[in-house]
Each structure stands twice: as C-alpha cells, then as structure tokens.
Structure 1
Amino acid sequence: MADSDSKQTTFKRVMLKISGEALMGDQGYGLHPPTVERIAREVKSVHDMGVEICMVIGGGNIFRGLQGSAQGMERTTADYMGMLATVMNALAMQAALESLGVFTRVISAIPMDQVCEPYIRRRAVRHLEKARVCIFAAGTGNPYFTTDTAATLRANEMACEAIFKGTKVDGVYDKDPMKHDDAVRYDTISYDDCLAKHLKVMDASAIALARDNSLPIIVFSLDEPGGFKGILAGEGTYTIVR
C-alpha cells in the first residue's frame, strides 16, 4: 500500500447511478453475471477507500415503463413494472457485492419485506455509517418519475456529496460521440446549460433537483476499468455538472 496516500478521496459519501443496460453486457437483454461482478468489483474498490456508497440501478435491461406505455400499456402499470425490474437488478448487485465481502442492503420504495427492506431514511443513514452499501430500488415508489430522479432524491436525503453517473462514454458531449467524430467533451458544464441544450445527462427533473440543492453530477465511463476509483482519487476523464 505504498501509494495509499495518492488514493485518498475528498468524498465521504456518494451516490452511484447506473442504468439497467449497464448490467446486460453484450447480450442485449437481462443480466450478464460477469458484467454484474465487474461492476461490483469497481464498487468494492471505492468502498475499500472508506467511501460510503449509495446506489440506484435502472431497470431498462428487463423492462422500461416508457416503452411499455408507448406500446399501448397504461403508463402507471408500465412504470410499476419498471420499478419491479430495478428490484431484480438491485438483488443481483447485492449478491455480487456480498460474494466479494461487502455488506449490502437493498432498500425498496415499494414494501416487499421478504426480499428487501422498506425505505426508512434514518435506518438507511445508519447502514451507511456502518459501512454497508445501500442500493435503493423501486425508484421513488411513484409512477412518472425516472430512476435518475430517484437517485437525485435519495442522494439529497442521504446527504451525499455527489452523484456519479456511470455511462458508456467518459463525460458529457455537445452531441452523441458514438455518432459524431467531432463531438466535444465538456470538462465542466452548468445545470442550466444541460437543460437548455437538452444534453442527455439525466432527465430534466433530476438535473433541476440537483441544481436546487447544489449537488454536483459527475459523469464518467463505467466501461473504463478502475474509472470509478480513479475519479475519486483525482484521476481519469469525466465531466462535472454543477
């Protein structure tokens, strides 16, 4: 541990938001266990630095409420199905983390006591203080709200110092870097510019909630090995929305 001093972080408690699609690897649907394990190892590496970690995982790899609604399903029902998908992803991540020796709690906004805890803010804070990873599932428990908004809400409630948004690219660009070779990455960008330019960092409700509470959003590539830990140690490539 000769380089331990260089790996110190100024963050004590953070929220990691990842999409459900991040868990499906290259298979296009569902859960890919090696990918889940890889992400769990990334989380463990940050947990080992002494950082308290909250997580919110989307459900788009299993079911996406908006897509169901677009295909004729009643929106509220579709959104509740999406919330249940996030619980499945949270349980998978819990299993992966605990296999690595990281104590983890899945906390659901929709009560389902046989598989996870109900959301009680003070209890969740206590879990974090005891160095347990808290995975918040089932969104906010309400339809018409995305998991981006749920992550921002829980991050504020848990007094997190930043939201880390893990994506397929290493920051926020002025246009899709997967489609445009001349896309330019921002080192920093304001909440208002994200909203005005319709940059797909998070949905508008989440960005506005982060702005109103001065909660920075750090966008980085989840596909970069060691990226999460590197950013907390002051290294790597990312964009800060603030």
Structure 2
Amino acid sequence: MQLLLVEDDPTMQITLQRALTRRGMEVTACGDGGQALRQWSAVQPDVVLLDLTLPGLDGLQVLQQARASGWRQPVLILTARGTVGDRIIGLNSGADDYLPKPFDLDELEARVRALARRGTARDAAPSAPATAEFGALRLDRDSGAVYCRDEALDIPPRELALLQALLARPGQAVAKERLFELVFPGAAEVQYEAIEVVAYRLRKRLAHTGVALVTLRGLGYLLKVAA
C-alpha cells in the first residue's frame, strides 16, 4: 500500500513514517501544502494522511485543490483540531475520515486499511451520472442547479443544499444528522432543530412541483412523487 503522509511536525512525521513502514506500507512524507500537492500528483497514493495545520497552503486548501483536480484517493485527516465544526468542514471539503490527535497506531492502521478498501471499491464502481432525476425535478451534479420541468428553481442556499442532498438519493431516507452537516457546514452555534425549519420551507417551495418532502420520524427525510 502506498501512502502519502503530510505532516509538518518533524518528530511526528518520522514517528508515523517508521511505524507505518514497519506495518508493511510504503510511505512518502512531506511537510508543507505546496509539496503535498506535487507529491500527490507524482505518487498517486492509495491513501493520503493529511494534517490541517501546514505552512503555505493549509490542509483544507490542499484537499480542496486536490479534489478540484479530480484526485479521488481517500483522505484521512490527522489533526489536533477536534471540534465537531472542524470535522464537518473537513468532511465537506472532501475528506473521507477524521482522526484527532493523539491517536492509537492500531486504530490509525485499521482506518487506513479500511479507506484503502473503500478506494479500491470506488475505483471499480461506475461513475455517477451527470444528473439525478426524480419526478419533475432534475439535479445537475456539476453545477448543483435544480430544475423543475427544465426551469431552474430559485431557492435560497440552505434549502437548495437540502434538496441537493435528497435528490442525490431519490426516494431514499436521509438521516437528519447527515442533512444537518450538509446544510449547516461548520456552524457549531446553530441548533440541531434548525434543519426542521429548512425542511418546512423547502416543503412549501416544492408544493407546485409534484414532488413532496416527507418526514420519517426517527429516521430523517425523503422525497416522494406526489399522488
């Protein structure tokens, strides 16, 4: 397994590189954001271990640029930032997992191997279609725009984020916790019940579309073609 380790603390970098190498992994290490992008492009690793606090480009900027370049390798964020808001920002920026420091090496190895398996499955799976359609609604995955009978819907950002998440899994329930993370990324001060307000507003906006927003108590929300 080929890993890219991006860690600016020299002691931590050497310790992790040695420990992971002893566990049968090939580790390329670097300590700043610009070098991380160059190594990522050159090595094309199986998994990337990425610290957030880096000189030059920080970890989130590295991650965002990598995803914008189409690099799909799984990313495990390693950082001393352990708040829920930081985890949500990292995951919404394209990370696959998050492990706060200090951590156990056995847990790190287990997560790395799980991500490598997930990455292999992702590469083997067919790519998602450019659009998702449900009833009269259509989501353009590239632009994020939602259309109803080919007319773009003018929806406020949070209601749009909720609709995008539901259209990505049409007819399937999506948990309120996951929807909250997508609609309020990094907003640690927002009350959890705020997602219900957004859902209420979106339900009213969908009234003319023939698609209904349904609440499944204890589970979340889903879209249903209105009878």
TM-score (normalised: structure 1): 0.26
Q: Rg: which structure is higher?
A: 2
TM-score (normalised: structure 2): 0.27
- Between the two structures, name the one with larger relative contact order (CA 8 Å, sep ≥ 6): 1
